[in-house]
Structure 1
Amino acid sequence: MPWYIKTERFRAPAQDMGQHLSAHRHWVRQQQQQGRVVVSGYLVDGHGQPGGGGLMVLEAENHGAALAFIQQDPMILSGCVEWRLQGWIPVMGDLCLLPAQNLP
């Protein structure tokens, strides 16, 4: 199944988005528990400090299915991020996805 990457940039400081981030994490866990292959995390700067945005890696049948899926993400529904969805074609290496229990 094809891979897709959603990148996002926060429109407000991360500390102001606790409610939306919590809803996002809950939604991702639900999706994983239902068998969807999806991993989500936040981006950090050169000092390891969060706040710039996030990244999601997912499998979907096609771009339309990936788009329909991520448009359900609470971070997108809240309007607190600018985002972009792109297909991704791995060329070298293996991708090992974290199981749901490893999410913070």
Structure 2
Amino acid sequence: MNRLSILAASIAATLTLVVGATDARAQGAYYIAVPEGRTGKASLITRSTPWTLRGDAYVANRAPEREIVLCQLLARNIGKLRSFSAGGMSLGDAALEKCNARAKAVPGAAVAAR
């Protein structure tokens, strides 16, 4: 029974992320970034790019910086990202790892890892 409830919670969380990202895409956002955790910020600006939280994803219109640069700037402000897409194309695993290397440290993460 316990395994079933864990599986159901995992499926529900995944569907929430997919629906949030799909909703952002439907509203015309060029960049869509899904953070790994909650950030508490409804909006922010990286260089000259304004980001807005829609559902579980940060969205922005097209900007002059390269996608990886925007991803790194956002990760530096909100922490690790679960996904990042530009114009409907998701960053690959290696690029997302490079992006997340610039993520801000989450307080208590080093203690929890021990």
With a CA cutoff of 8 Å and minimum separation of 6, indicate the structure with the bigger relative contact order: 1
Query: What is the TM-score of this pair, normalised by structure 1?
Result: 0.36
Higher normalized strand content (fraction of residues): 1
Q: TM-score, normalised by structure 2?
A: 0.34
